[in-house]
Structure 1
Amino acid sequence: MDQSLFIFVTVVEKQSFTRAAEALHMTQPAVSQYIQTLERNTGAKLLDRSNKYVQLTKAGEIVYHHACEIIGLYTQMKNLVDDLMNKASGDLTIGASYTFGEYVLPYVIAYLQAHYPLIKPKITIANTKRISEWVAGRQLDIGIVEGNVQQHSLVIEPFADDLLYIVASPGNPCVIRDPKDISDLKNQTWIVREPASGTREATEKMFSELDFHPENLMEFGSIQIIKESVQADLGITLLSHCAIQKEISLGILKIINVDGTPFYRKFSLITPDTRFKTKATSIFTDILRSNKGLPGFFGKPIC
């Protein structure tokens, strides 16, 4: 593989020649020389440089997109050959949306490491939209997401159910009254995730199916800050049972039981649409399909 592509991608992602040189254990002049050679070979200026940052030009955006794909394919090729000659080993890049990635995936990785210690997982946590984009661009080997995926170049395989509950702080009047109809929650402030997340999609879907239109929404970018905000009685929210097990058991969050809940959705595996998969990827997907390594609470209702 052309080394200049890898160096170019590193410069773009580090947004600095100096930081890229440090990461690559190279001198800055050497990094600059590789970028100049790449620009000469492509016949276009790829980066706008200043003392503080580097920024992609239009031509640079095209080269960066395809360079990421080339690097991903080259890495996959090496892994496939290694799989043919040896036991499953090497890097396995896994992306997961926040709910699964932060509350379930650690258990699965523990199982993977116990049974396949030569596989080295690298984990990326982001919202569903970003994970699907990175898997489609072959920057990740596999993704685990909730909600709908818009990328057409992916294999999408639902593998498990998720249950979502409306929760509030113990002192919230709705917990004490225990309403049966979601319309009783109309005047509550609902704390929701950002639009690109699977949990936000599930929340909007629940609102639509129950013909419910809350008057007040607060939008936060992570599950943890939503839980802390609900505990502080800023509002109520809809969250996966995976994310609230501990808080429910400690009594610092309470479930509001209304008709139509818990709300169900699917977790899905996503992989690039190719018949070539590394042994490590196949092993990991088999673990998920068979529910090995999943925590005991996974997929079970909260009583």
Structure 2
Amino acid sequence: MMDQQLQIFVTVAEKKSFSRAAEEHHMTQPAVSQYIRQFEDEIGVRLLERTNKYVRLNKAGEIVFHHAKEILALYTKMQNLVDDLANKASGPLSIGASYTFGEYVLPRIIANLKQIYPDIQPTVTIGNTATIADLVASHQLDIGIVEGKFNAAKLIVEDFAEDTMVIVSTANHPLARHKKPLEMADLEHETWIVREHGSGTREAMDNLFEQHGILPTRLMDFSSTQPIKESVEAGLGISLLSHWSIQKELKNGDLRILDVAGLPYRRKFSTLTNTPFQSKALEVFIDILRTNKLLTTLK
């Protein structure tokens, strides 16, 4: 009973409406109201502020909502693990990935997964490294695939592939015509097109600057890789990007890898999980990650 109350409460909070929650759960609006009243009675405080114009969480409601999401995720995970004892790999699998891996590597791996295990139902969340780590920690994702530093508390971390990163410019950039290798100091005053703080790619770039003792001041921030590539192609500046993310642009001649001493920069891709108990769906997905030939090109 409690799990149904939790689910209805979460839906009301997310939809900000009793009527829309009733539609979602195929119930009447009075029935939803009754569930919420019973739930608030059991908790001992009001959780929702209601008027004719809105329904919204109060302070207590925000606390309960945050934990209700985790409880429901754990409940689903428990049920899937129990179901797995009698069944083959199937059912939902929630995967989170940072932008580089999620946009340029993961789609092919999921295609491979679905070909071998058609009954697994993957869903994918793409975000920066910090966001994905937090979602795994709160049980809202079964697994995260990230690079760079993150809050590893409560997480099980395993490195499984290596990525190489290079500095790129547009094909006709003056730096691309240098015949001798460039030094990082030669690039300090260039405009750098960078990812936002919290992303693994931004961390790699900051690490590279620190290693070479430079402090570029002309930075343009973007929240994903695609607009960075397009900005570099347009001649707005240079960037440090995963070799995996620029395959098409290199092939088409739209981007050029700059010959810079000390590069490529290398970093690890890691898997993040939050429990030693794995569903069969998660188990086979991790096996595919570890053994997929696609990833040998990352090493």
The DSSP-based 3-state class of the residue aligned with 2:229 is helix
Q: Does the CA contact (< 8 Å) of 1:143 and 1:270 recur in 2?
A: yes
Cα displacement (A) at 1:31 = 3.2
Match of 1:299 in 2: 298
Tell me how large the CA RMSD over aligned residues is.
Answer: 1.9
Match of 1:151 in 2: 152
Distance (Å, rounded) in 2 between the aligned partners of 1:23 and 1:228: 41
Match of 2:199 in 1: 197
Q: Does the CA contact (< 8 Å) of 1:99 and 1:223 recur in 2?
A: yes
Deviates more, 1:201-210 or 1:28-37: 28-37
Distance (Å, rounded) in 1 between the aligned partners of 2:176 and 2:139: 46
Distance (Å, rounded) in 2 between the aligned partners of 1:191 and 1:225: 9
Match of 1:243 in 2: 245
The DSSP-based 3-state class of the residue aligned with 1:164 is strand
Match of 2:8 in 1: 7
Distance (Å, rounded) in 2 between the aligned partners of 1:109 and 1:145: 16
The AA in structure 2 aligned to 1:276 is F
Distance (Å, rounded) in 2 between the aligned partners of 1:52 and 1:163: 53
Match of 2:38 in 1: 37
- Of 258, 261, 264, 1:259 maps to 261
Q: Does the CA contact (< 8 Å) of 1:98 and 1:223 recur in 2?
A: yes
Query: TM-score, with normalisation over the residues of structure 2?
Result: 0.93
Distance (Å, rounded) in 2 between the aligned partners of 1:129 and 1:53: 33
Query: TM-score, with normalisation over the residues of structure 1?
Result: 0.91
Distance (Å, rounded) in 2 between the aligned partners of 1:16 and 1:130: 27
Q: Does the CA contact (< 8 Å) of 2:161 and 2:295 recur in 1?
A: no
The question of 1:90 aligning with 2:74 is answered: no
Match of 2:235 in 1: 233
Distance 1:19 1:198, change over 3 A: farther
Match of 1:104 in 2: 105
Deviates more, 1:5-14 or 1:88-97: 5-14
Deviates more, 1:68-77 or 1:173-182: 173-182
Distance (Å, rounded) in 2 between the aligned partners of 1:50 and 1:240: 51
The DSSP-based 3-state class of the residue aligned with 1:39 is helix
Q: Does the CA contact (< 8 Å) of 1:155 and 1:270 recur in 2?
A: yes
Distance 1:183 1:15, change over 3 A: farther
Distance 1:217 1:52, change over 3 A: farther
Distance 1:228 1:25, change over 3 A: farther
Q: Does the CA contact (< 8 Å) of 2:166 and 2:243 recur in 1?
A: yes
Match of 1:175 in 2: 176
Deviates more, 1:108-117 or 1:61-70: 61-70
Q: Does the CA contact (< 8 Å) of 1:210 and 1:260 recur in 2?
A: no
The AA in structure 2 aligned to 1:91 is P
- Of 188, 207, 210, 2:212 maps to 210
Distance (Å, rounded) in 2 between the aligned partners of 1:55 and 1:175: 55
Q: Does the CA contact (< 8 Å) of 1:7 and 1:34 recur in 2?
A: yes
Identity %, equivalent residues:
58
The gaps in structure 2 that reach 5 residues or longer are: none
Cα displacement (A) at 1:2 = 2.1
Cα displacement (A) at 1:263 = 0.6
Distance 1:33 1:269, change over 3 A: same
Distance (Å, rounded) in 2 between the aligned partners of 1:58 and 1:160: 43
Q: Does the CA contact (< 8 Å) of 2:47 and 2:58 recur in 1?
A: yes
Distance (Å, rounded) in 2 between the aligned partners of 1:261 and 1:240: 12
Distance (Å, rounded) in 2 between the aligned partners of 1:207 and 1:54: 49
Distance (Å, rounded) in 1 between the aligned partners of 2:151 and 2:141: 17
Q: Does the CA contact (< 8 Å) of 2:48 and 2:57 recur in 1?
A: yes
Distance (Å, rounded) in 1 between the aligned partners of 2:149 and 2:252: 33
The question of 1:275 aligning with 2:276 is answered: yes
Cα displacement (A) at 1:15 = 4.2
The AA in structure 2 aligned to 1:102 is E
Distance (Å, rounded) in 1 between the aligned partners of 2:58 and 2:291: 46
User: How many residues get paired?
Assistant: 297
Distance (Å, rounded) in 1 between the aligned partners of 2:132 and 2:83: 26
Distance 1:210 1:79, change over 3 A: same
Q: Does the CA contact (< 8 Å) of 1:90 and 1:119 recur in 2?
A: yes
Cα displacement (A) at 1:16 = 4.2
Cα displacement (A) at 1:56 = 3.1
- Of 220, 223, 247, 2:222 maps to 220
Distance (Å, rounded) in 2 between the aligned partners of 1:16 and 1:171: 55
